[in-house]
Amino acid sequence: MPFSLIAKNLFKHPLRALLTAASLAVALFLLCVLRSLVVALDVGVRNAAANRLIVQSSTSLFVYLPEAYEAKLASIEGVQNVCKWNWFGGYYQDPKNFFAQFATDPEALLAMYPEIEIVSGSREEFLKERQACLLGEGTAEKYGFKVGDNFPLIGALFQRTDGEPWSFKVAAIYRSKKSSVDNNTLFFNYEYLHKTIDAGQAGGPQGVGIFVLELAPGADRVQVASAVDALFEGGPQRTQTATEAEFNAQFVSMIGNVPLFVTSIGGGVMIAILLATLNTMLMAAREQTRDVGVLKALGFSDGSVFGLLLSQSLLLCIAGGGAGIALAVLSGPGMAIKLGTMFPGYEVTKGTIMQAAILTIAIGFFAGITPALRARGMSVISALRSNA
């Protein structure tokens, strides 16, 4: 069956075809975005380091651990390095300008996270200066911060008693080599936070949010995790130690079963678009009933007319769905910047593109199969007598 007949039949009603193709484009774009969000949530789990353990309070992530635990953790056999992480939760000028900030141990951080690559500025300055920070290049680009710039952050969780914002200096800018660390975070010296609070110049929770442990080569992570939890069995705060992957998975689950929710929305969208496309194809097939009779009378086989109808559906879906997928891919980098804070690691992956392409073809197939089968089984005479 010539492509021209397939295309001409399909675009016999250009507005209808265009609207259906546009619906498919929107649906597939949305599906790619939703799928990419799920992938972004999962990226921390998939790319977690195998040699890092996270120690948190067994009560909740929001219950802080005593600072004194650090030395005890460092003494456990199999632990090579310990790093404190405290969520700061500030914002730049306006609550809308939010990005992740952590008070941490600069030296331990850079030792334990080789994926953090300093692309400009001074590592030494970050280690040495109390107000220095290491800033992800995504956030630096977004707000136009350069190495040496000073900028304020208004503390939400840790508020200064004088009502002034916290002051930071960009000592270095980093780029992450792995998606286990995003490109938007600000790291600063834990001492800056701790000393300010101790001096009574700021308020906020005392202690440490989590400890990250780096395992010594050959250390058994299960044994080390058990040893940590056993050590603090008697308090004052009991701990829960997990691998980085387990911790990230638990963190994602705290905001609910987002993958299920997002997949449900995507599934609903796909069913709706399948029904809409099926409706279009049924209308198109009904209008072509007599043409089917003519083609069969001229000697075209039942298989040919089946192919004609099915090809129209596939062509419509590939045109519309392909446009949606292309739009999702092209807008990917822009979306990654926009969603960087909430969904670091947002990317329209090859897997997402493949899934969307398979879905597009599946919609085309299922929307076209009913009219195609009807056309295939229709007798020449009844098709020619049709008044459609």
Partner 1 sequence: MSEILIRLQAVTKTYTRGGEALRVLDDLDLEMESGTFFALMGPSGSGKTTLLNMLGGLDRPDSGAIVIAGEDITGFDNAELAQWRAANVGFVFQGFNLIPVLTARENVELPLLLAPLSRKQRREKAEYALELVGLSDRMKHRPAQLSGGQEQRVAIARAIVTDPTLILADEPTGDLDRSSAAAVLKLLGTLNSELGKTILMVTHDPHAAECAQTIVHLDKGQLGSIERRVPGAV
- Take residue 49 and report the two structure tokens written for it: 């380091």
The reply on whether position 201 binds partner 1 by CB under 8 A is: no
- Taking CB under 8 A as the criterion, the residue among 187, 291, 306, 368 binding partner 1 is 291
**Contacts of 2 by beta carbon, 8 Å cutoff, 6+ apart:** none
Return the structure tokens found at 109: 């951080």
For residues 2 and 144, which CB has a smaller minimum distance to partner 1 in the complex? 2
Contact status: 381 vs partner 1 (CB under 8 A): yes
CB of 20 to partner 1, least distance (A): 17
Residue 13 CB, shortest distance to partner 1, in Å, is 10
Residue with smaller CB distance to partner 1, 127 or 373 = 373
Residue 14 binds partner 1, judged by CB under 8 A: no
Between 212 and 310, whose beta carbon lies closer to partner 1?
Answer: 310
Of the candidate residues 106, 138, 209, 293, the single one contacting partner 1 (CB under 8 A): 293
Q: Is the peptide bond before 165 cis (omega within 30 degrees of 0)?
A: no
Among 109, 45, 53, CA closest to 79 = 53
**Total binding residues for partner 1 by CB under 8 A?**
23
CA dist., res. 194 & res. 171, Å (int): 20
Asked if 33 and 352 count as a contact pair (C-beta separation under 8 A), the reply is no
- Whether the CA torsion 34, 40, 41, 45 is positive or negative: it is positive
| 380 interacts with partner 1 by CB under 8 A | yes
Stretch binding partner 1 (CB under 8 A), from 37-45, 74-82, 99-107, 289-297: 289-297
Helices (H), the chain: 3-10, 14-46, 69-74, 106-112, 123-128, 137-143, 190-198, 221-231, 244-254, 258-287, 289-298, 302-338, 350-377, 380-384
Q: Which stretch binds partner 1 (CB under 8 A): 87-95, 113-121, 204-212, 374-382?
A: 374-382
Q: Which DSSP letter does residue 11 get?
A: T
C-alpha span between 12 and 33 (Å, rounded):
32
Q: Does 283 contact partner 1 by CB under 8 A? A: no
Residue of 109, 295, 348, 359 interacting with partner 1 (CB under 8 A): 295
| Per CB under 8 A, 16 contacts partner 1 | no
The one among 8, 46, 177, 338 contacting partner 1 by CB under 8 A: 8
To partner 1, the closest distance from the beta carbon of 144 in angstroms equals 56
Q: Residues 71, 199, 254, 298: which binds partner 1 (CB under 8 A)?
A: 298
Of 251 and 300, nearer to partner 1 (C-beta) is 300
220 secondary structure, DSSP code: -
Bridge-based pairing of strands 166-176 and 210-215 is unpaired
Minimum Å gap between C-beta 284 and partner 1 is 11
Indicate the residue among 199 and 298 with the shorter CB distance to partner 1.
Answer: 298
Of 9, 36, 81, 179, which lies in the binding site for partner 1, with binding defined by CB under 8 A? 9
Query: Binding of partner 1 at residue 147 (CB under 8 A)?
Result: no
C-alpha closest to that of 20 among 332, 363, 386, 379? 363
Nearest approach in angstroms of CB 297 to partner 1 is: 5
Stretch that binds partner 1, among 3-11, 147-155, 246-254, 336-344 (CB under 8 A): 3-11
The answer to whether residues 131 and 168 touch, using CB atoms and an 8 Å cutoff, is: yes
Give the residue among 94, 96, 99 at the shortest CA–CA distance from 185. 99
Nearest by Cα to 88 from 198, 213, 188, 199: 188
By CB under 8 A, name the binding residues for partner 1.
1-2, 4-5, 8-9, 12, 290-291, 293-302, 379-381, 384
